[in-house]
Amino acid sequence: MSTVPAARVGDSVDAIDTPALVIDLDAMEANLAALSAFAGSRKLRLRPHAKMHKSGAIAALQMQAGAVGVCVQKVGEAEALADAGVSDIFISNEVIAPGKLARVAALAGRVRLAIAVDSALGIERLAAALQAAGATLDVFVEIDVGQGRCGVAPTAAGALAHQVVAHGLRFAGLQAYHGRAQHLRTLAEREAAIRHAVTAVRTAQASITSAGMQCPLVTGAGTGSFAFEAASGVYGELQCGSYLFMDRDYAENEIDTATGVPRFAHALFVKSQVMSRGAAHAVVDAGHKAHAIDSGLPGLWQRADLAYGNGGDEHGILTARTPGATLPALGETVWLVPGHCDPTVNLHAHFIAVRGGLAGGVVEAVWPIDARGRLT
Amino acid sequence: MSTVPAARVGDSVDAIDTPALVIDLDAMEANLAALSAFAGSRKLRLRPHAKMHKSGAIAALQMQAGAVGVCVQKVGEAEALADAGVSDIFISNEVIAPGKLARVAALAGRVRLAIAVDSALGIERLAAALQAAGATLDVFVEIDVGQGRCGVAPTAAGALAHQVVAHGLRFAGLQAYHGRAQHLRTLAEREAAIRHAVTAVRTAQASITSAGMQCPLVTGAGTGSFAFEAASGVYGELQCGSYLFMDRDYAENEIDTATGVPRFAHALFVKSQVMSRGAAHAVVDAGHKAHAIDSGLPGLWQRADLAYGNGGDEHGILTARTPGATLPALGETVWLVPGHCDPTVNLHAHFIAVRGGLAGGVVEAVWPIDARGRLT
């Protein structure tokens, strides 16, 4: 028996069982439109990161709003989204295992597919898998733009791009995402980090030119930094993911709306309820099996007078933050704003999508989280 | 399409795709036998917590080894395990929502069921749901023994037990689990915490006696503290869960094997592989979507010369911890010991159970994680 959704289409918000992952559709659609408008006005391609929502239904909404396709991090995510109808997918990550590369090659026969590489061995194995399947795809060379994780040094980009072509593959450009920059709190810090990334991209482009090739596209950027990549003149495609839902952590970033950057609204919530009460605390039924805490504990929606404390896997412990705060009663609903949306979504089987707000709204859709737990 | 397991029965350990959740069966069976022997020698009932493994197959092994049944925290976990053949389940947590209590009542008609209560409202709603379904179950009154989460004050136990009986329900005893005690590092700290819990239990028992009733059973204890509950003379049932797999966090507890407490072995691992290499770091394909980090980052199995750094949702970053350490090459396997087993298991769809060790072993079983993501 698979997991039963916490509500059905047509249910009132009050009737949604807890804990449940709830989307405020009005807020989500405003976020969707705002980033599409931003990218359109800058003549930039938008390829949102679907590692965040893992949902074919949401990817379809993004593509209807102008996205050229989506990014994912795992082959299994790409397969699940292809099964759910997504037709253009970029695996913005390295794949080394021959068994996985055979799956990549099989998938390349079904959808428009791209992948990142950062090693000669990776290119060699990818080429062998594609040749065996008689398939082809776009290959982006990933460069390290300051994250210190995957990607070659910018000066090595030309040599790697040359190897891509020498193996009969299509060189599509540079993957240049700076993950660590996204959560730097001040505008000045993020601007400095992306200035560093842009310098790295220019170095990589020069390396590619020296190798006698052209760089068709530079892709990267996230919800914390995209305004800087957009203004750089070198990035042609934005990969923001979290903009659609926002989370407690991203909302703490300083932003400058005067530059045309939209202020995205919280659109993703965990509905929870009080299941135990003490004299000075209330226990809710959502712990860190219901929301990820890698970026800190969740916020409490419209209850600034309360504090959420870690109650373990299945519980959260609410206490008063301001004197005289009234703790919620047994059975009362409390809405949590996840600390980090991506791994929170991965804990749930369904989105419960609500129209008309959290107070008084109605369930308009129930979407499976198609790529939940697709780790390989 | 549901998630494809990372290996099939008969595959070599080398052939397991990554990242994957792997059980070393030899180590797990030794842990299983050791706690069963401990409980048997003390004439204590064993009811392991299945919130940890969420698996009907593993619950069956525990019951074959002498466990009277299992505990869970969620109604959905109880339903999933009942569907997987588990016949005796204690929901060691409060349930307040009428919709969930109707499911509890339905389940009480299918398996031997028990539940915890800590409020008059909870008892009233539970009784109404059971009456509507014509069902019955065992009711444990939860007391707060020092955790500061759920449970009434020990002095209130008698009044609540009386209400249980007044509503026509069976009063089965006290739920008295001290979660916070489990991870105190020194023996002295854990001994003091459980001394406090035992005093609370005695107070609750006196309160029950004063109300003219008897307390049939006291149930509680975890992997960090069970020796103290076992020695107390008041606990009749142990609820340890993590002993079966162990994790990096529990392994850091000081233990005293001279008192007959077994030293449990690491039996749960995340198999990962290097998918990107830098000059001074290696990137593995398991981040915190593959292992929970609420109790800290994973350990590296038999690679004390390396350090695991947080690389985000999908990556881990390995660096040298000792001078001259050789970083693993592209494609090389690295075994992670999860920081906390319970929420790590919840991230995966299957256990890959291996016989003959991580080096050279063979996949003996693939078990679905039946109650993964059963949040409601």
A371/B46 Cα distance (integer angstroms): 37
pLDDT at A257: 83
pLDDT over threshold 80, residue B316: yes
CB A116 within 8 A of CB A92: yes
CA B249 centroid distance within chain: 13
Best residue in A313, A342, A372, A374 to probe B by mutation, most B CBs within 10 Å? A313
Radius of gyration of chain A (CA): 22
Tell me the C-alpha distance between A282 and A280, whole Å.
7
Q: pLDDT at position A259, please?
A: 79
Contact A149 B317 (CB under 8 A): yes
Q: ∠ at Cα B274 (B273, B276), nearest 5°?
A: 150
Averaged pLDDT, A171-181: 97
Order the strands of the B70-72 sheet from edge to edge: B45-46, B237-238, B218-220, B170-175, B138-142, B112-117, B88-91, B70-72
A-chain CB neighbours of B374 within 8 Å are 3
pLDDT in tens, B231-252: 999 999 999 999 999 999 999 9
Q: In this predicted structure, what is the pLDDT of residue B18? A: 98
Gap between the Cα atoms of A190 and A227, Å rounded: 10
CA atoms within 13 A on the CB side of A43: 3
Q: Is the preceding omega at residue A19 within 30 degrees of 0, hence cis?
A: yes
Nearest to B231 by CA among B46, B38, B90: B38
pLDDT tens for each residue of B69-91: 999 999 999 999 999 999 999 99
* Measured torsion, CA atoms of residues A192, A193, A195, A199, in degrees rounded to the nearest 10: 140
- pLDDT, one tens digit per residue, over A234-257 is 999 999 999 999 999 999 999 988
Instruction: Give me the amino acid identity at B266.
Output: H
A 10 A CB-CB count for B256 gives 10
Chain-chain contact of B375 with A148 (C-beta, under 8 angstroms)? no
Contact A148 B79 (CB under 8 A): no
B313/A343 touch (CB, cutoff 8 Å), yes or no: yes
Facing B289 at nearest CB: one of A179, A275, A343: A343
Q: What is the mean pLDDT of residues A259-285?
A: 96
Determine whether the interchain pair B315/A288 forms a contact, defined as Cβ–Cβ distance below 8 Å.
no
Instruction: Give the pair of three-digit tokens for residue B283.
Output: 């990137």
CA angle (A307, A308, A310) in 5-degree steps = 140
What does A166-196 look like in DSSP terms, one character per residue? HTTPEEEEEE---TGGGG-SSHHHHHHHHHH
H or E segment and range at residue B352: strand B350-355
Q: Which of B314, B347, B369 to mutate to test the interface with A (most CBs of A within 10 A)?
A: B314
Residue B9 to residue B353: CA distance in whole angstroms: 9
Per CB-CB distance under 8 Å, the chain B contacts of A124 are none
**Residue B91, pLDDT score:** 98
Q: Which residue has the higher pLDDT, A153 or B256?
A: A153
Note the pLDDT of residue B256.
Answer: 86
pLDDT of residue B2 exceeding 80, the answer is no
Give CB contacts under 8 A, 24+ apart, made by A47-50. A47/A71, A47/A90, A47/A219, A47/A237, A47/A238, A47/A239, A48/A239, A48/A240, A48/A241, A48/A243, A48/A244, A49/A92, A49/A222, A49/A239, A49/A240, A49/A241, A50/A77, A50/A81, A50/A86, A50/A89, A50/A241, A50/A371
Summarised one tens digit per residue, pLDDT across range B117-165 is: 999 999 999 999 999 999 999 999 999 999 999 999 999 999 999 999 9
pLDDT for A256: 86
Which of A187, A190, A189, A181 is closest to A255 using CA atoms? A187
How open is the CA angle A343-B375-B18, to the nearest 5 degrees? 45
Residue type, A82: A
List, as one string, the DSSP characters of A328-342. Answer: PPTT-EEEEE-S-HH
Interface with chain B: mutation pick from A103, A314, A334, A352, highest number of B CBs within 10 Å: A314
CB contact under 8 A, A376 and B277: no
Q: Fill in the amino acid letter for B177.
A: Y
Angle, alpha carbons B254-B258-B263 (nearest 5°): 55
φ and ψ of B60, to 5 deg:
-65, -40
ipTM of the complex: 0.97
- CA atoms of A340 and A249, how far apart (whole Å): 6
Residue in B closest to A342 by C-alpha? B313
Give the gap in angstroms from C-alpha B373 to the nearest C-alpha of chain A: 6
Can you say whether residue B110 is alpha, beta or left, with left for phi > 0 and alpha for psi between -120 and 50 degrees?
A: alpha
For residues B373 and B64, the answer to whether their CB atoms sit within 8 Å is: no
Pairing, β A20-24 against β A350-355: parallel
Angle among Cα B57, B62, B64 to the nearest 5 degrees reads 95
pLDDT digits (tens, 9 = 90+) for B26-76: 999 999 999 999 999 999 999 999 999 999 999 999 999 999 999 999 999
The H-assigned helical ranges of chain A are 25-41, 56-64, 75-83, 98-108, 120-133, 157-166, 187-210, 226-232, 248-251, 341-345
**Distance between CA atoms of residues B193 and B309, nearest Å:** 33
pLDDT (average), residues A104-115:
98
Which pLDDT value is given to residue A260?
82
Q: Is the pLDDT of residue A3 over 90?
A: no
What's the whole-number mean pLDDT along residues A183-195? Answer: 96
Q: Residues 6 or more apart from A43 whose CB is under 8 A from it?
A: none
Reference A308, options A289, A333, A282; nearest CA is A282
Cα separation of B332 and A99, whole Å? 14
Q: Report which DSSP code applies to B204.
A: H
Query: According to the model, what pLDDT value does residue B260 have?
Result: 82
Q: Rounded mean pLDDT of chain A?
A: 97
Q: Is 70 exceeded by the pLDDT of residue B338?
A: yes
pLDDT exceeds 60 at position B322: yes
What is the Cα–Cα distance from B71 to B62, expressed in whole angstroms? 12
Mean pLDDT computed over every residue of chain B: 97
What's the pLDDT score for residue B198? 98
DSSP state of B49: B
Q: Which residues pair with A171 in a beta bridge?
A: A139
Going from the N-terminus, what domains does chain A have, and what CATH number goes with each?
13-21+264-368 (2.40.37.20), 25-248 (3.20.20.10)
pLDDT in tens, A303-352: 999 999 999 999 999 999 999 899 999 999 999 999 999 999 999 999 99
Q: What are phi and psi of B71, to 5 degrees?
A: -100, 155
Query: What is the pLDDT at residue A307?
Result: 97
Does the bond joining B19 to the residue before it have cis omega, within 30 degrees of 0? yes
Q: Which residues pair with A114 in a beta bridge?
A: A90, A138
* Residue A246, helix vs strand vs coil: coil
Closest-CA residue to A218 (of A177, A185, A167): A177
Q: Which residues of B touch A118 (CB under 8 A)?
A: 276
Gap from A148 CA to chain B (nearest CA, Å): 8
What distance in Å separates the CA atoms of residue A159 and residue A165, rounded to the nearest whole number? 10
Record: contact B276-A313, CB cut-off 8 A: no
User: How near does any CA of chain A get to the CA of B110, in Å?
Assistant: 16
Chain A residues with CB under 8 Å of B349 CB are 373
